[in-house]
Structure 1
């Protein structure tokens, strides 16, 4: 994060510290400071007063307002993904769909659009206790829906999984965090970046400041409640919205976004 470079060293040092009351207090104090820097760094930041502009999703082409995979950059070069996602980009741009597969696996593929949390709840209620695993393949999308899906996953004590070659980026890791067990197969592509406004509404400086502080605290609180280490959110804060920070296998375990090894890969047949 350009104007936040002075905080980066302190954030990383704090992330390596032992968990405890002091660490949590200092962490949330830093988040408030970070929110101020985000107002400067994040172009077109989302805020509560702007209505539906609360996007934490993939970078968008300003000419078409369509998500781009991988994120577009305004200058410099994006960090290369460890492997190329296998899912066709056109499918990932579509509103997220939930399809039941064999073995109690609910496949969730596409962009997390407003209203997707309601569709997810309907799907879970219709399937009763059959669903055990939510398999994610998404470039991210609307924050509120991602948080609601994540909370329902935790309520139902479901496992979340990112398959080999699947993408889980932007707000998708928020959904993944809800899993009572969280799994990533080899060559799963998982990445984070800053919150940004994917809508057309332009907030004032005061609105952006209020939105930055509220959103930063809300997301950090959710990740903390899900048992995710603070370092994950630090990397998101430090990565501009037109890039992705791709998490290594070691980081997925360090930040506790992955809690269990996935089972051996098996043929997946839709029911």
Structure 2
């Protein structure tokens, strides 16, 4: 347990206060934009919770120019760096791909590509809402170690279960050559749905409770507060389901909405996660 009265590094304290990311804090300290108790801060200095931290207007001005963009990522693009010949989603961030209905008052500038980082994964074979930001405060909010941000997905599934009892009491036997792809809800055992909600483990660790419900007979709605690699696909495999389509539709309070696949828009000043 961390001692709340112990001194901590200034950059960590600034991130805890929501002023900026640790990396930004180091940059601001190096630029002479941070004071502690009225005196210019030095790199690596430690502070107490009661210490007064002041930030120069120049730092706040730099922060005000940072952008956050929302992309409806298509299949075939990776979230971060290019890999195996696949393009990263950031290559979609061009003036030509900006959504025509984006009414925010930002103008595209190539400088906005500098330091633009994805906030979380979205698999190469998944589509939907991907957030990319220059703002360390938003990155920490979405993917920080203490983040509990909700992420919502629509997941189309087929049932490959073997020897599972259907709600009628009959034994449903199927394999990869004969999955159930229509009215999956009718044959998927309620006990397995309960396990999707809570009771599964990945990589030797129990998963946090999830909200999982049928959106329609072939599609589940997942709401997660964590983001392990290929989590939903792996969860489904553990209960005899195969994901045949996955779309992220919400992160926190921000919805994908009508943003077309392959296009992007700026996060508006009024929008909060």
Larger Rg: 2
Choose between structure 1 and 2: higher strand proportion.
2
TM class, shorter-length? under 0.3
Q: Which has the higher contact order (CA 8 A, sep 6+)?
A: 1
Report the TM-score, using the length of structure 1 for normalisation.
0.27
